[in-house]
Amino acid sequence: MEKKSLEEIWNQMEQKRLFEKQNAEKKETELHDQREIARKEYLKVMRMYEAISTTNTSSAAAGAGGSHKKSKSFVTVTNTVWLYPIADTEYALAGTTYSYTRNGNTLTFANQNSLIAVYTEIFNRTAVTQPIGNVGYSLGVGTKLKDIGDELYFKINNTLMVTWRLVEQITNQRDLPAGGDSPNGTIGYVTVFENWSDPLPSDVLDLVLVIDGPLI
Look at residue 165 and tell me if it is in a domain: yes
Task: Quote the domain boundaries for residue 102.
Answer: 68-213
Whether the upstream peptide bond of residue 177 has omega within 30° of 0, thus cis, is no
Beta bridge partners of residue 156, listed in sequence order = 109, 159
Look at residue 32 and tell me if it is in a domain: no
User: Which of 58-62, 67-71, 72-76 has the highest average model confidence (pLDDT)?
Assistant: 72-76
Look at residue 87 and tell me if it is in a domain: yes
Look at residue 6 and tell me if it is in a domain: no
pLDDT by residue (tens digit) across 85-130? 999 999 999 999 999 999 999 999 999 999 999 999 999 999 999 9
Average pLDDT, the chain: 81
Look at residue 41 and tell me if it is in a domain: no
